[in-house]
Amino acid sequence: MTVRIVVGTQWGDEGKGKITDLLAAQTDIVVRYQGGNNAGHTVIVGQEVFKLHLIPSGILFPDTVCVIGNGVVIDPQVLLEEMDMLRGRGIKVTPDNLKISSAAHIILAQHKARDLQQEADRADGQKIGTTGRGIGPTYVAKIDRSGVRMEMFLRRDIPAELAAFQAKLTPYIIDSVQYLNEALAQHKNILLEGAQGTMLDVDHGTYPFVTSSNPTAGGACTGSGLGPTKIDEVWGVVKAYSTRVGEGPFPTELFDKDGEYLRAAGAEFGTTTGRARRCGWFDALVVKHAARVNGLTDLVITKLDVLDKLPALKICTAYDIDGRTVGDLPTDLELFTRAKPVYTELSGWQKDTTQCRSFSELPSEALKYIAKLQELVGVKITLVSTGPDRAQAIRRDI
Ligand code: GDP
Ligand code: IMO
Ligand code: MG
């Protein structure tokens, strides 16, 4: 029995969906614990591409139960559309394998309108670049105790705005905290799937250029109702380089041909909004920070193959802030905004890694790159992904 959290260590889009799907085969229950349909998790199986926003990335396995936890905010229409999309593609989605927490909050039309209006009202330089899905205002309503929860669907009289969804959603709504804790008592394997990433965490990210929830490991406990003592492993997913979508500081961002190369080779366009992702070199300070605030036990490197053709690779090992060399991420955004990356350079491998299935098959320069990341972050690398498909993964223990 293992309870494992899968968390993003950068600014989201690290490949959490792919890794969750990969692990879901050996998992009884996959739980989403925060965020909403601001998330876009891509799972590729052969020729099939699945873009998931709310439903956990374990849904492709009919015997794996997926739970949308109490920490998630749900747009009922989006959820129903996603359920229909999956069913239309032959994926099982029934109350047996999808369960929705009665305590998850509902995104209302007013929240979406407010999200768009607030973003429009923000002056240049202060815009966050939200996904416009109503996420922030829904969490505001939750925290100020005026929100509406999924349990509303179980009542006789509900707001007119929600009435149309009631019959379709009611069969899926359960007390997920009770369900998950009972599953734990039955020694089930549980995977808690994060959305967004550590640097978008409202407490530990680049505030105020963040999302309105806690993607970090603590949020997995709050957002699922599984206590901290029940968690066995925390796996941090990290891209072999960095990306960010939306506004906010990003010290290793590239504005040159290398940045363009990463965007093209990595297909770095948002799953949810289609926006081009900003691209840059690997930032070890960011991932070290993620290792701390999540208590990472394992690291998963994704998209190593995107670096295959580059002759030289840079890793940020420190920042220069106003002439001082700094080895840890500053929490003060003013300082972080002025941080200039200090790089160490490694040679590229310029070989195809997409067919590699064991560490010994990887080019020696790729192994050196991975070893350097492990040394800098201080967490063991358990899995390396060299392509979007399920088969393109290298486990340390194989
Ligand atoms: P998530 O939000 O963390 O689940 O990540 P996204 O799905 O938004 O973005 C990751 C993208 O990279 C998706 O299109 C995945 O199919 C793709 N991907 C995942 N792992 C790899 C990999 O190892 N190599 C390549 N080339 N693509 C990958
Ligand atoms: P996944 O789960 C990348 C970003 C938005 C914006 C900020 C706040 O696919 O990794 P919000 O709509 O949440 O209020 O926007 O957060 N953002 C993401 N960036 N991946 C995501 O999710 C994101 N979800 C939100 O671009 O900068
Ligand atoms: Mg994504």
Q: What is the pTM of this model?
A: 0.97
298: exposed, middle or buried (C-beta count within 10 Å: 0-12, 13-18, 19+)?
Answer: middle
- Please tell me the number of the ligand nearest to residue 194's CA: 2
261-276 burial string, b = 16+ CB within 10 Å, else e? bbbebbebebbbeeee
265 lines ligand 1 (CB under 6 A): no
Pocket probe mutation, ligand 1, options 211, 245, 263, 303, max atoms within 8 Å of Cβ: 303
Active-site residues, by number, are: 13, 41
41 lines ligand 1 (CB under 6 A): yes
The whole-angstrom separation of Cα 209 and Cα 47 is 36
The whole-angstrom separation of Cα 119 and Cα 121 is 5
Question: Quick check: helix, strand or coil at residue 84?
Answer: helix
- Please tell me the number of the ligand nearest to residue 237's CA: 1
271 lines ligand 1 (CB under 6 A): yes
Query: Pocket around ligand 2: residues whose beta carbon is below 6 Å from it?
Result: 8, 11-13, 38-41, 128-131, 133, 135-136, 195-197, 200, 211-212, 245-246, 271
Which helix (H) or strand (E) covers residue 212, if one does?
A: none
What's the topology of domain 3-395? Adenylosuccinate Synthetase; Chain A, domain 3 (3.90.170)
The whole-angstrom separation of Cα 38 and Cα 22 is 22
Locate the domains of the chain by residue range.
Answer: 3-395
- Please tell me the number of the ligand nearest to residue 302's CA: 1
185: exposed, middle or buried (C-beta count within 10 Å: 0-12, 13-18, 19+)?
Answer: exposed
Digitized pLDDT (tens) for each residue of the chain, 398 residues in all: 999 999 999 999 999 999 999 999 999 999 999 999 999 999 999 999 999 999 999 999 999 999 999 999 999 999 999 999 999 999 999 999 999 999 999 999 999 999 999 999 999 999 999 999 999 999 999 999 999 999 999 998 899 999 999 999 999 999 999 999 999 999 999 999 999 999 999 999 999 999 999 999 999 999 999 999 999 999 999 999 999 999 999 999 999 999 999 999 999 998 778 889 999 999 999 999 999 999 999 999 999 999 999 999 999 999 999 999 999 999 999 999 999 999 999 999 999 999 999 999 999 999 999 999 999 999 999 999 999 999 999 998 64
387 lines ligand 1 (CB under 6 A): yes
The whole-angstrom separation of Cα 83 and Cα 77 is 10
